[in-house]
RNA sequence: GCUCGGGUGGUGGAAUUGGUAGACACGCAGGACUUAAAAUCCUGUGGCCUUAACAGCUGUACGGGUUCGACUCCCGUCCCGAGUACCA
């Protein structure tokens, strides 16, 4: 009986399903461990071999932690709302619900074949009403909350109303805290507040709510017919679909994530995440500390506020630049310049984001004719308009210091403006002089700067801020790059926003009316008058009277809290019960793609902190440990068609002709050799194809690209499982290299791990393939092989180094084969170790051996003890960075001997001077000196 | 441009964080078994020189440094990947 993975895997997958082997319940006697995968969006293409990479790793961790006695929560679900299903619906009329469900079924089928230990009884789908009911519920909570800067946390909006009733606005208990975007709110007294009508009160409150409606600059994507959040836009085009994106001002639901900017940065320190993800989040939030400075306009009452991180260069200001969208531009432009400015502003505004970005090098701008007064010198400073200044960041205006800022420098050179130097360039600086480039470094001594002269830059910054604040020219202030998150999508396939309008004022629907079910509509396009698809729904009105909101929530809404729902997925009374969240707390091991580092991971942290602030959950961060699995790229194959002919030429000869490279399905090639027969029958157009071969073969060209259907380089896990089995797939994906590294898919090495499983199988069977196991006592040598494997396997797994553990198993099997060991005492523990990686084969052999539980208990408690058996220390030991030392090679040392022979490098030096014959470094960090 | 990774045999990659560089696997070469092939098993495999054998030299992108000892730490240079970008 050879290793028949097909029978074995089917058998045990059925068994696990029937027995509900991986069903998890709260068990307060056991320690919990929550292993979570970022749940997939079920796309029509099905799973490719890259998807399971993370799932396999998390499954190994889950199974391992279960063996160690933890109560493991390991669920799976689907992020089921999203654009592709809806785009498909628009094209075909097929309801997104139908396609989504088909895709989910396909995913489930594929996942089951890999032998994951998910608790499917906890499956969630974000598009189901009993799930999105609670997404809507959280939105309502956000709407009814504001961020109290004094307490540095969110609290119910009633508290703010109470403050207004007591003190009006502003009061010293409320700062003007509306997040990153400054909204002008007129001052009012407590009496004023009470005299305001409902409408006015609600309008004021909208400025403070964490979910709010406002006129805002948005990323409008005409191709998708919707607005997008910043992280959904890449290089000026939409991440999904690649349609151009432009800036547009329109009413827009947003979430005030900026209120949490500081906490989102600060709390990163406590997390066990990679530095690159933490860094990406810090950059995305983009905290920068600086100063706002007021420049008084001449012949106007108004002044221009600028934001700068370099107040020390205040004496180097040569002009002030406003963004084309800046509110003052129109007002301050003098008649002489009005036409030129209008023309410039119109052109600048009409350029799309993409054009602006593509054109960074091109300098453009226009003088307004207006002047401001320098706050310290009183000199006149010209005011310009330039599109290198962004309306959305800081105050939308900058003080230009061309000598010490490269963008100001380029602008000044182009328009021939003054470049006054205020920092002495250090002689050791690698700088070619101010007539060539600006000097941007934050080091050097100040010159030409009045009271700042002679100071070092860092000191000067502080002194400048002091002077500015003292003279009330401005104040120190913190700016964030992070914008509030656009939350409405002009789309059908998403959670309806539980809002209705009365007198043009938004109100939330009553909690008891949740969920607000997504209505059925006849077509999924926007209406002819440009309203979102939901406007097509008949009687889309609250209580039959008030218009509902037409936009739906973005794709990331449902994924921003899903980890909590897994703890209590069927609860109809609460989004999660206190009991469940008290027990499961947050995720212990979270794994997913690095592409979510600025989107999903910020939003889920934001929502978690919000729910924490309201006292609804006891945790402040969603996931303690985060790992990003690398992407598995596809290796695309190409054939080369000779121009104007249905003739194809092999890769090595293609340079002799003019050819077009065409993607060809990698599944009809083997090691770059094209299967000509399959190629001809692949597509109608290739039926009569002819070929020019080299060495009687057609060699395809290849290139590493992202795995995608359109590039014909998708390898399905199903094919691998058919040929080698799920256990081989699991081992191979882990063996491929470090989990976090991206790598192209290749099956070249797969026979190695498959062979390993067959050799392991053979340990339990004799030459005639009969199951046979010996009850003899193990020899010390055999025990050493086992214990070495146990120890290293635990060490490596605790630091999530999956690929190296597999090498260990291979060495172990090789050694046991050499020793012809088929002893129960060795093989039973070995199987336990193997079972997280190759659960099917382990389960099968277990079934023949006997009681798994008792052996697991016997072996795993010991993992916590030192497991080196009488080692003679002929291999590595190092404690506290000190070097272990043996005087003589032949001398066998006890543990104590080694402990006592700790030496410093100085001491070793002495020995070496004493004419040693040889210095040998032996395995591990023991220095061997033979004298 | 900035930030974060990375550069080790023909290939994927190890090296327990400063201690025998190249584990393990693929590939390749040779051998055993076979009429033959497949499968399986054994041997060899960084480079160079040399030997009957032992051994020797060299070697972790490049140049320098610290150290008894460097793939690992420090300085400089060159490449590759990811993220981000007129953020003042």
Determine the protein residue whose CA lies at the shortest distance from the C1' of B83: A280
Distant-in-sequence, close-in-space partners of A722: CB < 8 Å, separation ≥ 6:
none
Query: Within A614-700, where are the H helices?
Result: 676-682
pLDDT score of A597: 82
A631: nearest nucleotide, CA–C1' criterion: B82
The gap between A440 CA and B16 C1' (Å) is 45
| Mode of pairing for the β-strands spanning A589-593 and A32-37 | parallel
Whole-angstrom Cα distance, residue A139 to residue A809?
50
Contact A704, A697 (CB under 8 A): no
The gap between A791 CA and B55 C1' (Å) is 37
A494-539 residue pLDDT tens: 999 999 999 999 999 999 998 999 999 988 888 877 788 999 998 8
A748: nearest nucleotide, CA–C1' criterion: B26
The gap between A774 CA and B50 C1' (Å) is 50
pLDDT band at residue A921 under the 50/70/90 scheme: very low
Q: Which nucleotides of B are covered by protein (CB under 7 A)?
A: 3-5, 11-21, 23-27, 40-42, 67-69, 81-88
A235: nearest nucleotide, CA–C1' criterion: B85
pLDDT score of A179: 52
The gap between A759 CA and B31 C1' (Å) is 22
Closest CA to A417 of A376, A363, A377, A454: A363
What would the DSSP string read from start to end of A511-565? GGG---PPPP-S--SPPTTS--GGGGSTT-EETTTEEBP--B--THHHHTSHHHH
pLDDT band at residue A859 under the 50/70/90 scheme: low
Neighbours of A432 (CB within 10 A): 9
pLDDT score of A918: 33
The gap between A594 CA and B84 C1' (Å) is 14
Determine the protein residue whose CA lies at the shortest distance from the C1' of B19: A925
Rounded to 10 degrees, what is the CA torsion of A398, A400, A404, A409? 120
A403-447 residue pLDDT tens: 989 889 989 988 999 999 998 887 766 677 788 888 888 888 898
Read off φ and ψ for residue A756, nearest 5 degrees. Answer: -60, -45
Determine the protein residue whose CA lies at the shortest distance from the C1' of B5: A276
The gap between A700 CA and B12 C1' (Å) is 22
The gap between A876 CA and B10 C1' (Å) is 32
A276: nearest nucleotide, CA–C1' criterion: B4
Determine the protein residue whose CA lies at the shortest distance from the C1' of B3: A279
Comparing A358 with A566, the larger pLDDT belongs to A566
A411: nearest nucleotide, CA–C1' criterion: B86
* Average pLDDT of chain A to the nearest whole number: 83
pLDDT score of A914: 39
Is A177 a residue whose pLDDT tops 60? Answer: no
The gap between A551 CA and B5 C1' (Å) is 40
A97-126 residue pLDDT tens: 999 999 999 999 999 999 999 999 999 999
A308: nearest nucleotide, CA–C1' criterion: B88
Whole-angstrom Cα distance, residue A360 to residue A352?
13
Closest CA to A711 of A669, A668, A662: A662
Rounded to 10 degrees, what is the CA torsion of A566, A570, A571, A574? 50
Determine the protein residue whose CA lies at the shortest distance from the C1' of B21: A923
pLDDT band at residue A901 under the 50/70/90 scheme: very low
pLDDT band at residue A899 under the 50/70/90 scheme: very low
A384-398 residue pLDDT tens: 998 888 877 888 899
Contact A47, A55 (CB under 8 A): no
The gap between A357 CA and B85 C1' (Å) is 9
pLDDT band at residue A360 under the 50/70/90 scheme: low
Distant-in-sequence, close-in-space partners of A433: CB < 8 Å, separation ≥ 6:
none
* Mean of pLDDT values over A174-183: 54
A282: nearest nucleotide, CA–C1' criterion: B3
A744: nearest nucleotide, CA–C1' criterion: B12
**Residue owning tokens 């392991």:** A760
The gap between A234 CA and B82 C1' (Å) is 14
The gap between A50 CA and B20 C1' (Å) is 38
Contact A341, A323 (CB under 8 A): no
pLDDT band at residue A904 under the 50/70/90 scheme: very low
A395: nearest nucleotide, CA–C1' criterion: B88
Determine the protein residue whose CA lies at the shortest distance from the C1' of B18: A881
Contact A124, A565 (CB under 8 A): yes
pLDDT band at residue A553 under the 50/70/90 scheme: very high
Whole-angstrom Cα distance, residue A45 to residue A309?
49
The gap between A765 CA and B61 C1' (Å) is 49
Determine the protein residue whose CA lies at the shortest distance from the C1' of B42: A818
A883: nearest nucleotide, CA–C1' criterion: B19
A238-294 residue pLDDT tens: 777 778 777 777 888 999 998 999 899 999 888 888 888 888 898 889 888 888 899
pTM of the model: 0.87
The gap between A266 CA and B71 C1' (Å) is 35
A122-175 residue pLDDT tens: 999 999 999 999 999 999 999 999 998 888 899 999 999 999 999 888 776 665
Closest CA to A693 of A638, A647, A646, A635: A647
Determine the protein residue whose CA lies at the shortest distance from the C1' of B14: A804
pLDDT score of A755: 92
Contact A337, A368 (CB under 8 A): yes
Whole-angstrom Cα distance, residue A903 to residue A896?
14
Is A652 a residue whose pLDDT tops 70? Answer: yes
Whole-angstrom Cα distance, residue A384 to residue A906?
68
């Amino acid at each position: 009986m050879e290793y028949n993975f097909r029978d074995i895997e089917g058998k045990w997958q059925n068994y696990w399903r029937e027995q509900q082997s991986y069903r998890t319940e709260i068990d307060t006697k056991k320690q919990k461990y929550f292993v979570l995968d970022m749940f997939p969006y079920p796309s029509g293409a099905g799973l490719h071999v890259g998807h399971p990479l993370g799932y396999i790793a998390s499954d190994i961790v889950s199974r391992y932690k279960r063996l160690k006695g933890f109560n493991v929560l390991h669920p799976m679900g689907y992020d089921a709302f999203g654009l592709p299903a809806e785009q498909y619906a628009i094209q075909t009329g097929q309801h997104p619900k139908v396609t989504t469900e088909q895709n989910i079924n396909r995913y489930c089928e594929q996942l089951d074949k890999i032998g994951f230990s998910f608790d499917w009884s906890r499956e969630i789908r974000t598009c189901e009403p009993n799930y999105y009911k609670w997404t809507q519920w959280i939105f309502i909570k956000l709407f009814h909350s504001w961020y109290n800067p004094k307490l540095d946390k969110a609290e119910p909006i009633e508290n703010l109303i109470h403050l207004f009733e007591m003190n009006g606005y502003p009061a010293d208990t409320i700062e003007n805290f509306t997040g990153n975007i400054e909204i002008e709110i007129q001052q009012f007294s407590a009496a004023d507040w009470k005299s305001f009508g409902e409408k006015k009160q609600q309008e004021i409150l909208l400025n403070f709510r964490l979910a709010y409606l406002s006129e805002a600059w948005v990323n409008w994507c005409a191709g998708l017919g919707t607005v997008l959040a910043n992280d959904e836009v890449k290089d000026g085009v939409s991440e999904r679909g690649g349609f151009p994106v432009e800036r547009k001002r329109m009413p827009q639901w947003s979430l005030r994530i900026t209120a949490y900017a500081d906490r989102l940065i600060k709390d990163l320190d406590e997390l066990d995440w990679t530095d690159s993800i933490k860094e990406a989040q810090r950059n995305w939030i983009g905290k920068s500390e600086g100063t706002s400075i007021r420049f008084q306009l001449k012949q106007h009452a108004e002044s221009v506020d600028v934001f700068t991180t370099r107040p020390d260069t205040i004496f180097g200001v040569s002009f002030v630049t406003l963004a084309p969208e800046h509110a003052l531009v129109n007002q301050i432009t003098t008649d002489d310049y009005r036409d030129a400015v209008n023309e410039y502003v119109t052109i600048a505004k009409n350029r799309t984001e993409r054009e602006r970005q593509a054109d960074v090098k091109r300098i453009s701008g226009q003088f307004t004719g207006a002047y401001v007064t320098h706050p310290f010198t009183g000199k006149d400073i010209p005011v310009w308009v330039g599109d290198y200044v962004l309306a959305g960041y800081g105050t939308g205006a900058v003080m230009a210091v061309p000598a010490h800022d490269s963008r100001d420098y380029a602008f000044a050179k182009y328009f021939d403006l003054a470049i006054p130097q205020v920092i002495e360039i250090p002689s050791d600086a690698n700088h070619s002089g101010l007539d060539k480039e600006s000097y941007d470094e934050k080091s050097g001594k100040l010159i030409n700067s009045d009271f700042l002269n002679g100071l070092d830059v860092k000191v000067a910054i502080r002194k400048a801020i002091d002077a500015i604040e003292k003279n009330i020219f401005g104040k120190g202030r913190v700016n964030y790059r992070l914008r509030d998150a656009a939350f409405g999508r002009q789309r059908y396939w998403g959670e309806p926003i539980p809002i209705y309008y009365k007198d043009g004022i938004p109100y939330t629907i009553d909690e008891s009316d949740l969920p607000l079910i997504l209505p059925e509509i006849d077509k999924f396009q926007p209406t002819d008058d440009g309203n979102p698809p939901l406007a097509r729904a008949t009687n889309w009105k609250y209580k039959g009277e008030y218009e509902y909101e037409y936009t739906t929530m973005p794709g990331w809404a449902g994924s921003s809290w899903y980890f909590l729902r897994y703890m209590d997925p069927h609860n109809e009374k609460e989004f999660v019960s206190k009991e469940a969240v008290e027990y499961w707390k947050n995720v212990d091991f979270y794994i997913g793609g690095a592409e979510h580092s600025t989107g999903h991971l910020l939003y889920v942290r934001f929502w978690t902190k919000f729910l924490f602030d309201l006292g609804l959950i006891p945790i402040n961060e969603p996931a303690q440990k985060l790992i990003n699995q690398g992407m598995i790229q596809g290796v695309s194959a190409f054939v080369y068609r000779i121009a104007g002919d249905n003739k194809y030429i092999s890769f090595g000869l293609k340079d002799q002709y003019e050819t077009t490279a065409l993607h060809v399905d990698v599944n009809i090639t083997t090691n770059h050799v094209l299967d000509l027969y399959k190629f001809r029958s692949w597509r109608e157009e290739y039926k009569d194809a002819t070929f020019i071969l080299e060495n009687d073969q057609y060699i395809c060209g290849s290139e590493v690209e992202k795995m995608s259907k359109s590039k014909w380089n998708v390898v399905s896990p199903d094919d691998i499982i058919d040929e080698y089995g799920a256990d081989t797939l699991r081992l191979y994906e882990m063996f491929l290299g470090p989990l976090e590294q991206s790598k192209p898919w290749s099956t070249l090495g797969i026979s190695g791990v498959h062979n390993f499983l067959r050799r392991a199988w053979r340990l339990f069977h004799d030459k005639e393939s009969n199951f046979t196991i010996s009850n003899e006592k193990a020899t010390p040598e055999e025990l050493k092989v086992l214990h070495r494997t146990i120890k290293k396997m635990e060490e490596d797994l605790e630091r999530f180094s999956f690929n190296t553990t597999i090498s260990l198993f291979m060495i172990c099997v090789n050694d046991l084969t050499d020793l012809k060991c088929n002893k129960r005492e060795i093989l039973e523990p070995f199987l336990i170790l193997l079972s997280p990686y190759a659960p099917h084969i382990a389960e099968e052999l277990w079934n023949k051996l006997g009681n798994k539980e008792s052996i697991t208990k016997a072996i795993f408690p010991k993992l916590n003890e030192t497991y080196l058996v009488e080692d003679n220390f002929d291999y590595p030991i190092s404690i506290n960075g000190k070097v272990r030392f043996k005087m003589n090679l032949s001398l066998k040392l006890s543990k104590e001997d080694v402990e006592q022979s700790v030496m410093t490098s100085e001491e070793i030096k002495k020995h070496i001077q004493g004419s040693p014959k040889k210095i040998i470094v032996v395995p591990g960090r023991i220095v061997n000196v033979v004298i």
